[in-house]
Amino acid sequence: MPLIHLSPIQDRYNLPTETVVFPPLKGAVDRLAQSIQLETISQDPRMLDTTAFDAFGQFLRASYPGLFATLNIDTFSTHTYFLHWPSTSPDAKNYLFIAHQDVVPVDQKSLDQWHYPPFSGAIEAAPGDSEGAEIGYIYGRGTLDDKSSLMALMETLESLAFQNFQPAHNLYFCLGQDEEIGGQAGAALVAEHCRQTELSFEAILDEGGIISTGSIPGLKHTPVALIGTAEKGYLSVEVSFNVAGGHSSMPNTKTAITQAAAFTEALSDGLFESEFSAPLEGFITHLAPEMPWALKSVFANRFLTEPLLLSLYQKSHTGRALTNNTAVATIMASGIKDNVVPASARVVCNSRILPGTTPDDVLERYTALAAKYGGTVEPYQNMGSGPTSTSSTESAEFLMLGQAVKKLFPDALVSPYLTIGGTDSKNFEGLSKNTYRFLPMVLNPEEVGGIHGTNERIALEDYHKMVDFYTVMVQLWSAGKFPK
């Protein structure tokens, strides 16, 4: 393996941009808080609270009249909105921004741990500094995932429409209704429409990475903008064990439960060897030159140090997720009575799949391991999708993302990254060569725990910068202009 070229790469993102940002529209924070109060929860397609989603759609229309008067709006399924801001140029390219309306449920057992009720949209603000910046937080489910992104996009579009902005390229916006449960009744239908109408995109931007602080070894005090250039795949399987049961007073040494337990323990050793996928290679290329000499030397001599590096990544759950096709048991079921040895047991397992590996590859490994313990394997509820392709960090669109980050977060480094969780953008696989996943929020490891967790909140300053970020990105990708 050759030495990695460790010359600094960050300067490419320091180019000035001819973009403008505007003072936030009056009431922007209050509108985000109001959006949190609408409980657009998705947990089962059969249990959609249409009242909450109806109210959310009405709220968007009432809050952003300029946007809805300017853009073309199509509705898919029941509550997924596909917005189009058309260009007047016959040579226009197409760009897509994605966000989602739905949020995950709140664990009722955690309610007493929340500082404010999870759907209150409570604003905990303090007086700003001499320049008038707001200090404080908005609390509630969706402040990080993903209503802040959706509402920031809406604020951006309303502001640009008010300024009579004219995009030189076609801008599209997909606001999904069920991202948290796979997007099959929302973004997937929009993507299928795009395929049928042969609508493809020069670039796509969805949620994904963040501006991370305090989590990257060697860069503990440096913010790093992690832009997802690929997304791991997803596969769930059900493993069944059938062994003769009987009375608990005369048990066999092997039972369905012991076989299931032995399989589960073996599964913890992993199905594949750890590896560096293409997004992680880009991560190293971008960040190694910025690290202290000792770490820089380790990365530069990967042909000697790769086993050491991979072993270091195994020491944290995040590191393991980035370098492994993960496999974990998530459901176990067996037994009917305390004095009956069950004749069957089942284990449901979930894997997240690295780029370069297929769901069939993973299924084959599950099958081989289960066979050692007398188990059989079937896909679970058809829950599976392959990893996405890896988008380039050399494209003009990625460069513009980096420029937008540097404009608003000048101290941040820019890096590609592997998105571990699922996003709606996976449904648009094949419709763009440049799909990126990023949210302009500065979060430390503790704050990241608020995503789907307790006391989810966003800093007021981060929300204002999120609006600014999308304002810059829309201008950069659309190459639009303002009337003289």
Please tell me whether residues 20 and 94 are part of one structural domain.
yes
User: How much is the average pLDDT of 152-179?
Assistant: 97
Q: Single out the residue in 319, 352, 385 at which a domain terminates.
A: 385
Contact 247, 340 (CB under 8 A): yes
3-state DSSP: the chain helix, strand, coil percent, rounded to 5? 35, 25, 40
Q: Single out the residue in 332, 362, 385 at which a domain terminates.
A: 385
The sign one gets for the Cα dihedral 148, 150, 152, 154 is negative
Distance separating alpha carbons of residues 118 and 480, to the nearest angstrom: 39
Name which residue leads in pLDDT, 58 or 305: 58
- For the cut 70, the answer to whether the pLDDT of residue 162 exceeds it is yes
Q: Which helix (H) or strand (E) holds 154?
A: helix 147-162
- For the cut 60, the answer to whether the pLDDT of residue 460 exceeds it is yes
Q: Domain limits at 466?
A: 10-229+389-478
How high is the pLDDT of residue 127? 64
- For the cut 90, the answer to whether the pLDDT of residue 349 exceeds it is yes
Please tell me whether residues 68 and 211 are part of one structural domain.
yes
Distance separating alpha carbons of residues 178 and 382, to the nearest angstrom: 17
pLDDT band at 133 (very low <50, low <70, confident <90, very high): low
Specify the CATH number for the domain of residue 285. 3.30.70.360
User: How much is the average pLDDT of 19-40?
Assistant: 93
How high is the pLDDT of residue 159? 96
Which pTM value belongs to this model?
Answer: 0.93
In a 13 Å sphere around the CA of 315, the CA atoms on its Cβ side amount to: 6
Distance separating alpha carbons of residues 306 and 287, to the nearest angstrom: 16
Specify the CATH number for the domain of residue 130. 3.40.630.10
How high is the pLDDT of residue 107? 92
Please tell me whether residues 161 and 203 are part of one structural domain.
yes
pLDDT band at 242 (very low <50, low <70, confident <90, very high): very high
**Chain segment 64-97, per-residue pLDDT in tens:** 999 999 999 999 999 999 999 999 888 999 999 9
Which residues, 6+ apart, have CB-to-CB distance to 20 below 8 Å?
A: 471, 475, 482
Name the average pLDDT for the chain. Answer: 93
| Tokens 């560096």 belong to residue | 276
**Chain segment 357-414, per-residue pLDDT in tens:** 999 999 999 999 999 999 999 999 877 899 999 999 999 999 999 999 999 999 999 9
Please tell me whether residues 37 and 178 are part of one structural domain.
yes
- For the cut 80, the answer to whether the pLDDT of residue 106 exceeds it is yes
Please tell me whether residues 355 and 255 are part of one structural domain.
yes
Distance separating alpha carbons of residues 56 and 145, to the nearest angstrom: 16
Closest CA to 348 of 427, 443, 239, 272: 239
Distance separating alpha carbons of residues 63 and 466, to the nearest angstrom: 18
Please tell me whether residues 109 and 211 are part of one structural domain.
yes
**Cis peptide, bond prior to residue 102, ω within 30 of zero:** no
How high is the pLDDT of residue 483? 67
In a domain, 2, yes or no: no
Distance separating alpha carbons of residues 282 and 286, to the nearest angstrom: 6
Name which residue leads in pLDDT, 217 or 212: 212
Looking at the 3D structure of the chain, how many domains does it have? 2
Q: Single out the residue in 385, 409, 428 at which a domain terminates.
A: 385
Strand partners, 379: 237
Closest CA to 359 of 371, 348, 369, 367: 367
Phi, psi of 205 (to 5 degrees): -125, 125
Please tell me whether residues 245 and 377 are part of one structural domain.
yes
How high is the pLDDT of residue 131? 47
Identify the three-state secondary structure at position 84. Answer: strand
In this structure, the strands spanning 203-212 and 435-443 are: parallel
| Tokens 């750890």 belong to residue | 274
DSSP assignment of 283-316, as one string? Answer: HHHHHGGGS-HHHHHHHHTHHHHHHHHHHHHTTS
